[in-house]
Amino acid sequence: GSTTVENSAAALKRAISLGVDGVEVDIWPTRDEGFVVLHDADLTRLTGRPGWTSYLTLAEIQALRIGGPIRRKLLGERALSLPEALRVVGGKVELLLELKRTRHSSAALAWVEERLAQILREENAVDWTLVISFDHRSLLRLRELAPEVRVGMLVAGEWLTLWEEVERLSPQVLLPQWAQTNPTLVKEAHARDLPLYPWVVNQPDLIVQMNEMEVDGLVTDRPAEALELLGRRQPRSFPKRTEV
């Protein structure tokens, strides 16, 4: 929201209070084998301090305040660790965790998927989280190490081998860019019992258009406007998939 810092505890609480079905955060591996909830590979925009997120320890990052220059002073928010974010959400809604990895991530990242699965188990969060990523090798490794962890395949642009990749990975959700989402894609996904969550859908006409295509979810930066357009402002109970 406009009054909160992205990926912060306040932003998560505000989104949940609106009555959304899920929230999405970005997670980066840290130097000391933890995960921090931040969007950028470079800390400059969010903290004012230059440096690669994955080159610092969790404690070093959490010592910094996040947000723009004014908000850093006024709000004093700090980045959440992954366990902290899980506790804020607490299964009240589905939590999408976008696993970020680039060439600037820590050199040795063999631990990432195993540690991520371990944290989700420790926090009893496996049933209400979905790990999403553009790094499909990472998702495949997660599937092999922890088949109980739900994964979502992020895709951008046209993929000639999309359905072969889906078959190889067996994701629980497909997350295409909104521009590549069309009735044919929706039909093909649903024929495979694969839910579709297009991203990032912010324009009012696009929100309506995607809804009319019968997609299963929308990733948006404007949850209040989306809920109003779709005629639902009341919190809904959590999806049935979490029931035993």
Over the stretch 72-103, which tens digit does the pLDDT of each residue have?
Answer: 877 789 999 999 999 999 999 999 999 997 65
Q: Does the pLDDT at position 241 exceed 50?
A: no
pLDDT attached to residue 129:
99
pLDDT at 158 over 80: no
pLDDT-based confidence at 67, cuts 50/70/90?
Answer: confident
The pLDDT assigned to 103 comes to 55
Geometric angle at alpha carbon 133, from 162 and 84, rounded to 5°: 155
The Cα 61–Cα 67 span in angstroms is 13
- 1 found inside a domain: no
Residue 47: which residues within 8 A CB-CB, separation 6 or more? 61, 64, 65, 66, 72
- Tell whether 3 is covered by a domain: no
With respect to residue 4, please indicate whether it lies within any of the assigned structural domains.
no
Whether 2 is in a domain gets the answer no
What CATH number has the domain bearing residue 84?
3.20.20.190
Length of the chain in residues, anyone?
244
Domain holding 238, by residue range, is 9-242
Q: CA triplet 63, 65, 68: central angle to 5 degrees? A: 155
Residue 61: pLDDT band with limits 50, 70, 90: very high
Segment 20-25 shows an average pLDDT of: 96
For 148, phi and psi rounded to 5 degrees?
-75, -20
Q: In this structure, is residue 238 part of a structural domain?
A: yes
Q: How many domains is the chain built from?
A: 1
